Amino acid sequence: MPTLTSFPAERLSTARSAWAIVAATVGLGLGLVATTVLGAGVVESPLVIVPVALVTAFAAYTAPRASIFARREALELRIDDAGVWLGPRALLSNGDVTQGFVMPMPGERSWMVRLERLGLHGDQRLVVQQAEQGRAILEALGLGVDRRTASFRGLARFHALPPLARGLALAVPPVLQAALLLLMQQAETAAQLRAAKMAELVFLPLAIIFYLVVAATRTRIEVGSDGVLVRWLGRDRFYRRADIARVRAVDGLILTGVALELSDGRTVSLPVGTRRLDGGLSRELAARVEDARSHAARERTHGGQDALHRGGRPVAAWLTALRNVGAGANADMRTPTISLDNLAAVLLDPASPPMTRAAAAVAAVAADPLEGRARIRVAQASCANDKLKRALGAIVRIDSDDERIARALVTLDTSHA
């Protein structure tokens, strides 16, 4: 197998191990059972074990994340058609990895490549000298920004509020609880006391739900070649790549995250962790968005795009015209044909409007059903726009009819994404 490229790299081994986490958790559970059974006379209430268990479980999870035992092993990295090789051994194949990231190493001039692996295997970390080398590794594994979206789990959107607003919101439940206790103390009759206690019984579960839902529900962040999708509590917000003027990592006093500076002057805050437990996530997210912006900045012009526009035609007539464009039927001065390569270029170009990309997908299936669907799957995997992803999913399905495709296109058209 011919080598496409090779360069020196370092494999970074850390103490993080999913098996260590599992072993610590199992050992913790057995220890709690033994404490409960054997120490019945020592522990007066089993509730005392709860905070101990929570603290120990938290420590068991976070301790292996530290890299105080990190080791670096210098090896020659090779990339060929079979995969990525470190020395004589295959590093990983694209079926072993879910996603990958390239980010600058803090305090160094080198770059780290982190590959998330399936199952309980620990992440694979590599150190390379240039960002282009890291991107080449991701491309070889099918994880490039133009091939697959990257998923992140951020903190609740609640944490993106200004500190004063966040503090006032968190102060509401304790203030109401104090008010209820004051009412109980000042109750003059048994009926008033019962009413105050009933209000407290109702309020406490609601306060717990408030904290869990508003302050603890994680945010899902999808970064694709076309933009950034932020999903929280069932609500989606998509920020187009063309609208993101700048991205920067934010290292606050307590929280870390990423700030998206939009072209209209607004700034979108995406908190992802705390200073002690960030683990480089904010730098990974910022680097991924910047890679998507840099990749998509090379906007291309594609001939024949006018033939893909709907104009004022009904959807059914538009679908027929798109299939004629792809198949070359009735090609003349007024109805040009577009090659599959040009259709794929429009389909895979994040700078093209979503409706134009979906129209190119319809024409690509007509041009070559097998290869056209393969190109659509690549575009779908790298797309963060959820409505466009659904439209491409409807087009790529073999059993899709015109009614299903039309519904997806109408939804995409009305979203103005």
Question: Cα-Cα-Cα-Cα dihedral of 269, 222, 412, 262, to 10°?
Answer: 30
* Residue with more model confidence, 264 or 95: 264
Q: What is the mean pLDDT of residues 241-249?
A: 91
State the pLDDT at residue 3. 54
State the pLDDT at residue 166. 76
Sign of CA pseudo-dihedral 31, 32, 38, 41? positive
Least confident of 256-260, 274-278, 349-353: 274-278
pLDDT in tens, 156-183: 888 888 878 877 777 777 777 777 777 7
pLDDT in tens, 58-110: 555 554 444 445 577 888 888 877 777 877 776 666 567 788 888 888 777 88
Q: Smallest Cα–Cα separation from 289: which of 319, 318, 247?
A: 247
State the pLDDT at residue 15. 46
Query: Is a pLDDT exceeding 60 seen at residue 14?
Result: no
Q: Which pair of structure tokens corresponds to residue 268?
A: 């979108």
State the pLDDT at residue 296. 62
Alpha carbon distance 187, 179 (integer Å):
12
Q: Please tell me whether the overall predicted TM-score, pTM, comes out greater than 0.75 for this model.
A: no
Query: Is a pLDDT exceeding 70 seen at residue 230?
Result: yes
CB 12 within 8 A of CB 125: yes
pLDDT in tens, 292-335: 887 765 545 555 577 888 888 888 899 998 888 888 755 554 55
State the pLDDT at residue 329. 57
Query: Is a pLDDT exceeding 80 seen at residue 187?
Result: no
pLDDT bracket for residue 363 (50, 70, 90): very high
CATH code matching the domain that covers 3-16+67-144, chosen among 3.30.1360.200, 1.10.10.10, 2.102.10.10, 2.30.29.30: 2.30.29.30
User: Which spans in 211-353 are helix H?
Assistant: 216, 281-296, 315-327, 340-348
Output the average pLDDT for the chain: 78
State the pLDDT at residue 66. 44
**Domain locations along the chain:** 3-16+67-144, 18-65, 151-155+218-296, 163-216, 305-415
State the pLDDT at residue 276. 67
pLDDT in tens, 198-228: 777 777 777 777 777 777 788 999 999 889 9
Do the domains at 3-16+67-144 and 151-155+218-296 have one common CATH topology? yes
pLDDT in tens, 42-55: 444 454 455 555 55
For 151-155+218-296, give the CATH class.
Answer: mainly beta
Q: What is the mean pLDDT of residues 107-129?
A: 80
State the pLDDT at residue 30. 59
State the pLDDT at residue 297. 57
pLDDT in tens, 366-398: 999 999 999 999 999 989 999 999 999 999 998
Sequence-distant (6+) residues with CB within 8 A of 331 are 337
State the pLDDT at residue 264. 92
Q: Which pair of structure tokens corresponds to residue 67?
A: 């890299």
State the pLDDT at residue 12. 77
Sequence-distant (6+) residues with CB within 8 A of 102 are 111, 112, 113, 131, 134, 135, 137, 138, 287, 291
Residues of the chain above pLDDT 70, percent: 76
Phi-psi region for residue 261, left (φ > 0), alpha (ψ -120 to 50) or beta? beta
